Structure 1
Amino acid sequence: MISNDILAHARQCAPAESCGYVVRTARGIRYFPCENLSAEPTMYFRISPKEYLKALAAGEVVALVHSHPGGLPFLSSGDRTLQIQTALAWWLVCDEQIYKFRCVPHLTGRQFEHGVTDCYTLFRDAYHLAGIDLPDFHREDDWWDEGKNLYLDNLEENGFYQVHADKAQPGDVLICCFGSPTANHAAIYCGGGELLHHIPDQLSKRERYTDKWQRRTHSLWR
């Protein structure tokens, strides 16, 4: 199995970071281990362009793999920058587990398109990068005017529970009423009195959790 190959390579390379590619070939999915050329291989990884060309010649490169020996099971900010440049899924090996991160754009500066890059997309992508996968689903514009309550009907089902507003912690989800009496907007509480969210006709951004947004807040979820 490919997972066994990936884990074995990570063990072999430790305490240095392992690295390689997952390739879809004519014979199925294969793992192509690569040499870590970084000058600081216990902290970083670097793959020769020749290794990528070799993997590409074998089939479709579908993911880049590297490990965090003794590290954390999510991508660092440097990893995220490189992932966006590669436009690939990144698989991370940590503590004998493989964590799979699809390539998502930067969380700030996104154009708004309802159902494609909207407040739920941002919420879902932020949690994905933290290792928590949430379902995607079709949502028509103005669903809140059609008697639907998509956030409140689905949060608990996906493992969230409501907490008191004065207990807010970074990563909690603020469900707000934006231009409607129905709770129709999600924001991520970042701590320090800031939130991350995406509202129509604006780029996604971090901003102060002002009195205006506190008044719009319906509930807080964790």
Structure 2
Amino acid sequence: MNEIDAAVLHARETWPTESVGLFYVRDGQRHYRRCTNVSPVPGDRFVIAPAEFAAVAALGEVVAVVHSHPGASGAPSVLDQAAHAAGGLEWVIVGLPSGVDGEADLVTLPAVSAPLPLLGRRFVHGVTDCYSLVRDWYRVELGIGLPDFVRDDHWWQRGGDLYRKHFTEAGFAVVAGPPQHGDVLLMQLGASVPNHGAVYLSGDRVIHHLVGRLSSVDVYGKFFRERTTHVLRNLARPAHDPVAG
């Protein structure tokens, strides 16, 4: 059985939820690895836990993300398009429009070579959201990789506390005093816990991504200051950052 047949079989066996898996290359051969869909709404979208992605990457070079569309064609949704652009890998979508036993409709989205710009991104929670922007800013500007965390939409309304729970694991510590260039600001926007993250930039600005808006650089004015709950500093950064002034 080749990797495409394995992916289609997986899609049929997980009906009516979305299957998810990865194509990886080892010893010049392309293989399919089944993954667990950990999305809270597996009938409508998929999520791969970062630890499982890392486990597959240990087997070989991950070259494609594969998932299914139960009861629909393989045409990419708006969410698919955003996630594909952000991830940089090839995507293969296994559509099953005629049911679990019907003919599969396969659509391939080629790998995106250019990185997604930091500014002007469309907001898609869990894909291109405020934490995604923080992670990408640190990778692009400082060469520091931050871990990703599985998160469902409106986690702060369901008893979640994503930022405070994980900031130490991500290599940050709470600091006192005014923020410096590259610090992460946690903000509380209409929630009982900090639910928005922004990167502080020199010149009293922030780069961030608000729900319903494109990612942007804004003045760190009264509105954001009053809602800031924590200033976080990454411990992997140099002790002196000349950009901060």
TM-score by length of 2: 0.49
Identify the match of residue 161 of structure 1 among 167, 173, 178.
Answer: 173
Tell me the SS of whatever aligns to 1:123.
Answer: helix
In the aligned structure 2, how far is the partner of 1:109 from the partner of 1:165?
31
Counterpart amino acid of 1:134?
L
Tell me the SS of whatever aligns to 2:211.
Answer: coil
Pairs within 5 Å for 1:61-140? 104-129=115-140, 130-140=142-152
1:6 alignment counterpart: none
In the aligned structure 1, how far is the partner of 2:174 from the partner of 2:228?
13
Give per-residue Cα distances to partners, 1:18-60, cap 9 Å, x unaligned: xxxxxx89758xxxxxxxxxxxxxxxxxxxxxxxxxxxxxxx9
1:149 alignment counterpart: 161
Counterpart amino acid of 1:214?
R
Tell me the SS of whatever aligns to 1:175.
Answer: strand
How many percent of aligned residue pairs carry the same amino acid? 42
Please state if 1:171 is matched with 2:179: no
Q: Confirm or deny: 8 A CA contact 1:119 1:197 kept in the other structure.
A: yes
Identify the match of residue 210 of structure 1 among 201, 217, 221.
Answer: 221
2:51 alignment counterpart: none
In the aligned structure 1, how far is the partner of 2:114 from the partner of 2:173?
28
Q: Runs of 4+ in structure 1 displaced over 4 angstroms?
A: 24-28
Give per-residue Cα distances to partners, 1:55-101, cap 9 Å, x unaligned: xxxxx9x8xxxxxxxxxxxxxxxxxxxxx9xx69xxxxxxxxxxxxx
Please state if 1:191 is matched with 2:234: no
Shift of 1:136: 1.6
- Tell me the C-alpha RMSD between the 2 structures: 2.5
Shift of 1:159: 1.5
In the aligned structure 2, how far is the partner of 1:26 from the partner of 1:141?
39
Consecutive unaligned residues in structure 2, runs of 5 or more: 1-24, 30-60, 64-84, 90-112, 234-245
Tell me the SS of whatever aligns to 1:147.
Answer: coil
In the aligned structure 1, how far is the partner of 2:114 from the partner of 2:150?
20
Shift of 1:164: 1.4
Shift of 1:148: 1.2
In the aligned structure 1, how far is the partner of 2:223 from the partner of 2:185?
13
Shift of 1:157: 1.8
Shift of 1:131: 1.4
In the aligned structure 2, how far is the partner of 1:26 from the partner of 1:160?
38
In the aligned structure 2, how far is the partner of 1:104 from the partner of 1:215?
33
1:65 alignment counterpart: none
TM-score by length of 1: 0.54
